[in-house]
Amino acid sequence: MQGFKKLLLGCVCAAVCTQGFADSKDNKGFVVSKPSLTLKAAETIANACIENQVSNRGSTIAIAVVDASGNLLVYKRMDGTSVASGDIALQKSISAARYGYATRETNRWVTGNIAVGQAKDIFGVTGGIPVKTQSGEILGGIGVSGAISDDDEACAKIGLSKLGDL
């Protein structure tokens, strides 16, 4: 019986102590609530991009969709796509998510600036775009590789457009 009382007391204490953290209205500034990209959204993006490439007989591509921290949510590589394209797509998506800018823009930053080019996770090849809310909060990043860079970026934008306003 003694063990049960200790277990019960521990459960009650845990519930009381964590209540302040779980309640977003009164969390004493310890918890920040922010929107995040869902797996369903990431799959929608990737599928739309690939469907576009197939229907337009475009180049085979790889696509990576990551969350705001750069963690992989979805990765797809079309048959016949170079294995290296997958790594490049992932690097583009991480850069777009972590810096909040399209890799077309980060390309401008790194061109001729060795120091910026050495920054962690920055990638300066067109084809990565951030996923943002209407208010500008970063939800994640999309990276596409396998076609020419402008087409990679266009494919990423087509995928993103399927989500509508966020």
| Greater pLDDT, 4 or 37 | 37
What is the total count of domains within the chain?
2
Q: Find the mean pLDDT for residues 22-51.
A: 85
Please check whether residues 78 and 157 belong to one and the same domain: yes
Q: Indicate the pLDDT class of residue 21, thresholds 50, 70 and 90.
A: very low
The neighbour count for residue 154, using CB atoms within 10 Å, is 18
Please check whether residues 49 and 126 belong to one and the same domain: yes
User: What does the angle CA 9 – CA 12 – CA 17 come to, to the nearest 5 degrees?
Assistant: 120
The reply to whether 25 falls in a domain is yes
The reply to whether 139 falls in a domain is yes
The reply to whether 109 falls in a domain is yes
Please check whether residues 44 and 28 belong to one and the same domain: no
Residue range(s) defining the domain that contains residue 19: 1-33
- For residue 74, give the 3-state DSSP assignment: strand
Please check whether residues 17 and 95 belong to one and the same domain: no
The reply to whether 166 falls in a domain is no
Quote the mean pLDDT of the chain. 85
Please check whether residues 67 and 22 belong to one and the same domain: no
